[in-house]
Amino acid sequence: MAKNPGTPTKGRPARRAPAPVRPAATAAPVVAAQAPAPVAKPRVGLVQFSREVRAETRKITWPSWKETWITSVMVFIMVVVTSVFFLLVDGSLSFLIQQLLKLA
């Protein structure tokens, strides 16, 4: 399949042709464009807001009790593993510093 000449490939931006240069004498004066005025959004009432919140919460897929239990157990296991790791690192660094201080 042939690639389109203007299509960028992975990791490389597409090449663009340089813009034509106009002579300074024929250049048109630049006029600053004014930004359009911001459009005021209507305020949402409390009743409409609560209806929209309820509609959005109905779309949520809540996890089952089993999924919640498994996730909680996995978090607890990871907390124990990281606690043991940091206990070992802290103990070994403390031992090394004590040995260095004894030599001095």
Q: What pLDDT, in 10s, does the model give residues 30-84? A: 666 677 777 767 677 899 999 999 999 999 998 999 999 999 999 999 999 999 9
Beta carbons of 85 and 93 less than 8 angstroms apart: no
Is the whole model's pTM more than 0.85, yes or no?
no
Between 90 and 24, whose confidence is greater? 90
Instruction: Count Cα atoms within 13 angstroms, Cβ side, for 86.
Output: 5
C-alpha 55 chain-centroid distance: 26
Q: What is the pLDDT, as a whole number, of residue 43?
A: 73
Q: What is the pLDDT, as a whole number, of residue 54?
A: 94
Q: What is the pLDDT, as a whole number, of residue 56?
A: 93
**CA distance between the termini of the chain:** 72
Element (H, E) at 86: helix 65-103
Q: What is the pLDDT, as a whole number, of residue 38?
A: 74
Q: What is the pLDDT, as a whole number, of residue 86?
A: 98
